[in-house]
Structure 1
Amino acid sequence: MTIDDPARPETPAQEPPVQESPAQESSTQESPTTPHKPTTWSALRPLLLRLHFYAGVLVAPFLLVAALSGLLYALSFQAEKVVYAHELEVPVGDTTLPLSRQADAARAANPDGTVTAVWPGAEPGATTRVLMADPDAPEGTSLAVFVDPYTGDVRGQLPSYGSSGALPLRTWIDGLHRDLHLGEFGRNYSELAASWLWVIALGGLLLWIGRRRKNRRALFVPEGGPASRRRTLSWHGSVGLWAAAGLVLLSATGLTWSRYAGENIGTVQDGLGGATPTLTATVGGAPTGHEGHEGHGDGHSGGTTAQGPDVGLDRAVEAARAAGIDSPRISVALPADGKGYVVKETDTQFPLELDSVALDPADGTVLDRLAFADYPLLAKLTRIGIDAHMGVFLGLFNQLLLAALALALVLMILWGYRMWWLRRPGRPAARGAWRKVPVTLLLPLAAATALVAWFVPLLGISLLLFLTVDLALALTAKAKARTRAKSGTNRTA
């Protein structure tokens, strides 16, 4: 996000002796004496510069908080493995105990809790996670009891959040990233940041390409040399070019969890036939309901144990394996509230293994089966996008990529403010740039802006605020100019 001031020339102390003229910075280079018709880009560029300037100055603080907390979140996956190593890892034994005995060990360790799900260890040396509904667990979480699958010893108990099983460290960082631990009110900060991120990224990309279109190498490779505003702009633009696609994807997937834009996105997705399919898990055929977005809800945090005949955990898993659930990474939801066993694949590594099956607890027969391959294309893309935003798609590579994007955004914001400081007071492009845009382009642009503002409400509200502030500054400037002119006339008289 380039916090730029094209209206003010560089000083010799800030730039190298050779400076770009306004004609060199524009998309066309013609002699000042040669009449020419303004191009679409030359008409749009000042308007885009002004929007980019205001967004960079006023929205960047929200983006900076989101980027720093997002960086911490990306690193928290590996940090969890270190902090909670005792709960997550055990020496590899010769044979594993039946899941039912491991669940019994968890019940014995926490008699007041109710087992709702079991996550068997996916690899040798990993503990089994038994999730329990417990009155003492924090709201929205389950109590995870970590059981040694070889000995049945309980290694520890921790709150677990979401389908990714976030433990207290990652849960706290996730809350910081999502709402600053301020509840529903705090979610406005992250929605505002996500609403503007794609606008700033794409706007900055257009400005950078338009500025360097005749020097392709300078688009991708930052300039060297002594520290200066020109060099800072080069780093800002080049890094932004490399990061633009990832930032736009982060913005889009982040909006799916937002309060206002997220609701609109869900409505459009359902209308296009891209809703996530549901699994019929209720004994008797009633659907369980929409699966919803993964990651910010557990699905196993409540419920009561089913009454009546029960084939047990181990036979349920055997039946699920026979029905095609063959991934080593699975979660087993126990029967509750009239529903049967639900066995889901949870392997988000490529190729994805996310099939699920519902089983009758009485005899283990299949009630319903849902294959990820049968999801509508839009539902598949949504699931993959959300998993990528969470850092669980492609594992460590995904987390390192998220960390790189977050770090790049932090650096671009700092570079942007540095450029603004070097060119203080940092005036944006001149007002009235919209008047130079052809009507045939201005009307569709205004209509598209209004549509996007309605679909992404916090973007629309903040954009209206920017326009109001800009108008107030313009009126103030005009009033001061009139006062100065009147005072000069009086002195002359």
Structure 2
Amino acid sequence: MTTVTNGDTSPQAAARRAKAANLYRAVWRWHFYAGLIILPFMITLAVTGAIYLFREDVDNIVHANFMQVTPIEGQRLSPSQIIDAALGAQAGTAVKFTDPISDTQSTEVTIKPETGSNMAVYVNQYTGEVLEVRPDRSTFAWTVRYLHSFRYFGPNPRKIIEIVGGFAILMVLTGVYLWWPRGAMRGQKGGVITVRGEPKRRVFWRDTHAVTGIIIGFFIVFLALTGMPWSSVWGAKVNEWANGSNYGYPNGLRINVPMSEDHLDHIAKTSWSLEQAQIPESVPPMMEMPTIGIDIATQIFDEMALHRGYAVALPNGSSGVYSGSVYPDDLSQQRVVHLDQYTGDALLDMSYADYGPLGKWLEFGINTHMGQTFGLLNQLLLLAVCVGIVLLAVSAAVMWWKRRPSGSLGVPPLPSDRKVFIGLFVILGIGGVLFPLTGITLLGMIVLDMIWQAVRAKPARI
């Protein structure tokens, strides 16, 4: 590290410079450690996130053979006929009917076999032809989504989301400190807003890393915070707190009907705020009475103007309901409606407008995180951020490789005054309290670093 003087040679100025240099080294050291842990995960999140931004377009290309159909005017089958066609190809019980988002999309029917996991059956709603039978949520976009959230690897790896999110925020904050022009460097342009040198020089990669980080740092923090709701510890607790009731519905929404023990997230794709929402129950009539059926249920949902592409969870048992839910890009059109299976009455009708203030802000953040709020501009902006994250990781790796001494890990040097760590650890501790899993990981890193320092300081025996 180069020490820059400003002409003041007094002992007080020298002490200030020494203190600043020590703090710089302490921050640099922990910026390095944080990067060492999360950069591989950041690359994975960036690549899968960039693909998922264009999930519908990608799926329509990859799965065009069963997702795309040619409309035939006046020949559309009823939902019950479509379900019958699906059951003819896959035995079991139909549990969900998904209205196609456009006339050129096939209709998806979810079936629960007697044994095994749910299956998705894609049917041409104009001819009744079954186009595909495959495991539920097994399309390319769903696979990318599960990879992005680490859900693909089971429940425990999802905790990595919280750890990576917390460290990403730490990386940005410490990175801004390291980038910040100080002393005689304040008039410097290179490495602050421009990149110096050529790719063969370390300064090129240092400046690329610094300038890229300062440009996209805000977006990294935003993505980290809005990705936290999917974490299995922090996200679950905030979800419970934000919803404000045992039913999982936002505060202020009155529930005057019997509620089952089942949750909305178990039956259909839903918004984050409603994952814990319990399903109302139909009250079986005293005398035997037929249910309204899926055809009447979808007709009611259409009359209620649910946005196209809504999913209908079919009643499970005599007290089940028809649950229509849709979560399009337009937040104002998010909606869930539960119908009594015997009368067709709406037992609960809730939209984005019914969420509490915290729920609205969280849903806005999640919607924007997924590239939905501002259309193509939202997608392209986040695509650029994802590319920037990969560039940050690559430039950090190249910069480290060019800087590290031969045969060494190249950990930034310790400050001469260890007291500067106190303030840094207090700040890290606050972050650790806010994000518990990140805090536990930080604590483990501090212990390991102290052990390593003690081993290195121990004199060799002759």
C-alpha change, 1:308 and 1:154, in structure 2 (3 Å) is: farther
- Percent identity, aligned pairs only? 25
Counterpart AA for 2:341: P
1:327 to 307, 314, 319: 307
* 1:274/1:83 CA distance change after superposition, 3 Å: same
Q: In structure 1, how many angstroms separate the alpha carbons of the residues matched to 2:88 and 2:331?
A: 38
**C-alpha spacing 1:109/1:290, structure 2 compared with 1 (3 Å):** closer
CA change 1:176–1:343 in 2 (3 A) is closer
Structure 2 match to 1:463? 442
Partner of 2:9: 32
Q: Residue 366 of structure 1: CA displacement?
A: 1.9
Shift of 1:415: 0.9
Distance 1:336 1:279 in 2: 28
Residue 144 of structure 1 aligns to a residue in which SS? strand
Q: Distance in 2 between matches of 1:391 and 1:84?
A: 21
Match of 1:116 among 89, 95, 102: 95
- Write the letter of the residue equivalent to 1:23: V
Deviation at 1:429, TM superposition (A): 3.9
Find the aligned partners of 1:122 and 1:215 in 2 and give their Cα distance. Answer: 54
Aligned equivalent of 1:128, options 82, 107, 127: 107
Instruction: Say if 2:316 is the partner of 1:336.
Output: yes
Q: CA deviation at 1:109?
A: 2.5
Q: Indicate yes or no: 2:33 matched with 1:49.
A: no
Q: Judge conservation of contact 2:149–2:230 (CA < 8 Å) in 1.
A: no
Residue 291 of structure 2 corresponds to which residue in structure 1? 310
**Residue 113 of structure 1, CA deviation:** 2.0
- The one-letter code of the counterpart of 1:259 is S
Which residue does 1:408 correspond to in 2?
Answer: 388
State the match for 2:171 in structure 1.
Answer: 200
Which SS does the other structure have where 1:22 is aligned? coil
User: Does 231-240 or 275-284 show the bigger shift?
Assistant: 275-284
Which deviates more, 455-464 or 260-269? Answer: 260-269
Report the TM-score when normalising by structure 2: 0.81
8 A contact 1:225–1:231 mirrored in 2: yes
**SS of equivalent residue, structure 1 residue 23:** coil
Cα 1:33/1:135, change in 2 over 3 Å = farther
Offset from partner CA, 1:351-398 (integer Å, 9 cap, x none): 541022222222222222112112112112222333444455556554
Q: Which residue of 1 aligns with 2:339?
A: 359
- What corresponds to 1:60 in structure 2? 39
Give the C-alpha shift of residue 181 in structure 1: 4.6
Q: List per-residue Cα deviations over 1:65-98 (Å, max 9, x = no partner).
A: 4434444544654332112102111112112222
Residue of structure 1 in register with 2:433 after alignment: 454
Relative distance call for 1:452 and 1:271 in structure 2 (3 A) is: farther
Q: Is the 8 A contact 2:321 2:341 kept in 1?
A: yes
Structure-1 residue corresponding to 2:180: 209
What is the CA deviation profile of residues 205-253 of structure 1, one whole-angstrom value per residue up to 9, with x for unaligned ones?
Answer: 2321346754578644434656321121111111112221221122223
Distance (Å, rounded) in 2 between the aligned partners of 1:98 and 1:395: 32
Change (3 A) 1:373 1:267: closer
Structure 2 counterpart SS, 1:197: helix
Matched, 1:179 2:119: no
Q: CA deviation at 1:32?
A: 3.4
Query: How far has the Cα of 1:43 moved from its partner?
Result: 6.6
Three-state SS of the structure 2 residue aligned to 1:195 is helix
- Relative contact order, higher structure (CA 8 A, sep 6+): 1
* Structure 1 equivalent of residue 242 of structure 2: 269
1:154 aligns with 130
Code of the residue aligned with 2:211 in structure 1: it is S
The answer as to whether partners of 1:279 and 1:368 remain within 8 angstroms in 2 is no
TM-score, scaled to structure 1: 0.76
CA distance in 1, matches of 2:446, 2:157: 25
Structure 2 counterpart of 1:164: none
Q: 1:322 to 1:355 in 2, by over 3 A?
A: same
CA shift digits 1:402-439 (9 cap, x unpaired):
443333222211211211122113341423555247x8
- Distance in 2, matches of 1:186 and 1:274, equals 28
Which residue is 2:364 aligned to? Answer: 384
Native 8 Å contact 1:278 1:290 kept in 2:
no
Please give the alpha-carbon distance, in whole angstroms, between the structure 2 residues aligned to 1:90 and 1:278. Answer: 43
**What does the per-residue CA deviation read over 1:292-336, in whole Å, with 9 as the maximum and x for residues that have no partner?**
69479999xx9xx9994222223223323444x342232222222
- 2:415 aligned residue: 431
Q: CA RMSD in A?
A: 3.9
Q: Secondary structure at the match of 2:259?
A: coil
Amino acid at match of 1:373: A
Mapped to 1, the partners of 2:12 and 2:245 lie a distance apart of 50
1:137 is displaced (CA, Å) by 5.3
2:52–2:141 contact (8 Å) kept in structure 1: yes
1:271 and 1:416 mapped to 2: Cα distance? 43
Partners in 2 of 1:274 and 1:288 — Cα distance? 9
Partner-residue secondary structure (3-state), 1:156 = strand
Unaligned runs of 5+ in 2: none
Distance in 2, Cα, partners of 1:78 & 1:62: 25
C-alpha displacement of 1:340: 1.9
In 1, the alpha carbon distance for the partners of 2:115 and 2:38 equals 39
The number of residue pairs the alignment matches comes to 441
Distance 1:404 1:226, change over 3 A: closer
Contact 2:244/2:251, CA 8 A, preserved across alignment: no
Counterpart-to-counterpart distance in 2, 1:361 and 1:271? 28
**Structure 1 residues 422, 410: closer, same or farther in 2, change over 3 A?**
same
